[in-house]
Chain A
Amino acid sequence: MEQTQVTELEGQRIGESIFLTTTDAFFRWAQASSIWPLAFGLACCAIEMMSTAASKFDLDRFGAGVFRGSPRQADLMIVAGTVTHKMGERVQRLYEQMPDPKYVIAMGSCATGGGPYFKYGYHVMKGVDQIVPVDVYVPGCPPRPEQLMEGIMKLQEKIRQKPSRTTHASSNPSITHVVS
């Protein structure tokens, strides 16, 4: 019987209608292909994020365009903008309300490390990684939609490379930086 290698699912196709793979690989593929982001933005980066989701850049092509209004339905938190100490507590609460497995992208200079408020911003957190574990950092002020999309593709790679279903990519110490 004819057998074909399907690399994306790490499986084998046997004949016309039989396909063999592991559940791990199947779930990872499903997760990476349907990342639902949480619909919230904090500053000008959110405008770029909205543009990324809109028709010109069309984030839906990566299965990540279904922005959810509730953290209970979201897989990914894109921290798009300046995180103040006051807002930081809300951001942390939103993160905690998201079901596992969950991921965080720090979008732009502010969320990555305080940005222009690094030295004199008494009220700005020096990076959202002070309060939530960040998977992918996207630099830029603000990053262009292409950069955010690359960040999401990096996250998809990361999810596909997850060791097994029982551990989450978030706990992986390796941090992905998007090079712009």
Chain B
Amino acid sequence: MSSLDVTARIQARVGADAAQPELNRADPTLVVPAGSIRSLCQWLKDDTEMAFDHLMCLSGVDWLDRIEVVYHLFSHQHRHRIVLKVRLSREHPSIDSVSDIWGAANWHEREAYDLFGIRFQGHPDLRRILLPDDWEGHPLRKDYVFPTEYHGVACDSSVSGPSPRVCDMGAEQTRN
């Protein structure tokens, strides 16, 4: 099945108005409604003509007026691929998890949550994956405010040289 057929079949399933193709992309790309993502993904994986058994990547994008989640799918059997995009509100980005459909989504969704603050409903273990658990904010948001310090160590680039903590440590060693 060619990529064009895949696009047409998805449009036939969710409605031509709902699934908007994006033109001039490297891979065929469709913008689909956020509410339909779970049932659509389940069908894309289970349908024998689709057979998208591989979630290559799940990423987030901050477009300032919206948050996008991008799914790159690939079928090993048919060797075809498709890109799905959903648009979420910037204030409360929330979408159903697909981690039970593709195991690969588990950590990808945790990463998107960590860096963009996107909530994946139904994820079995939605916590930060890269940053420390007590980190504040989601750094890949365009309006992210840089922290000034973390656990007493300066994050600011205006700081250079040893912190007071290290100087204390040096003094302790002299006494030994």
- A-side interface residues toward B, CB under 8 Å? 85-86, 88-89, 100, 113-114, 118-119, 122-123, 125-127, 129-134, 166-168, 170-171, 173
Contact = CB atoms under 8 A, between A and B. Distances in A.
Contact of B170 (A88, A127, A171): A171
Given A168-B176, A170-B173, A130 B166 contact: yes
Given A129-B166, A131-B166, A85 B150 contact: yes
Contacts of A123: 131, 139
B156 to A, nearest CB: 8
A85 B160 contact: no
9 contacts: A85-B150, A85-B153, A89-B151, A126-B157, A126-B159, A130-B163, A130-B165, A134-B162, A171-B171
Most B Cβ at <10 Å: residue of A113, A118, A123, A170: A123
Given A86-B132, A131-B153, A126 B160 contact: yes
B173 A171 contact: yes
Contacts of B157: 114, 118-119, 126
B153 A100 contact: no
Interface of B: 131-132, 139, 144, 146-147, 150-151, 153-157, 159-163, 165-166, 169-171, 173-174, 176
Contacts, number: 66
A85 B176 CA distance: 29
Contacts of A118: 157
What 7 pairs between A and B have smallest CB-CB spacing? A171-B173, A171-B174, A85-B150, A130-B163, A129-B162, A86-B132, A119-B157
Nearest to A166: B176
B3 to A, nearest CB: 37
Contacts of B153: 85, 88, 125, 130-131
A126 B170 contact: no
B153 to A, nearest CB: 5
A126 B166 contact: no
A133 B169 contact: yes
Contacts of A170: 170, 173
A177 to B, nearest CB: 13
Contact of A168 (B156, B160, B173): B173
A103 B132 CA distance: 28
B139 A122 contact: yes
A167 B160 contact: no
B166 to A, nearest CB: 5
B173 A122 contact: no
A131 B165 contact: yes
A95 to B, nearest CB: 9
A162 to B, nearest CB: 12
Nearest to B149: A85
Most B Cβ at <10 Å: residue of A119, A130, A133, A170: A130
A131 B165 CA distance: 7
B140 to A, nearest CB: 10
A63 B81 CA distance: 56
Contacts of A131: 153, 163, 165-166
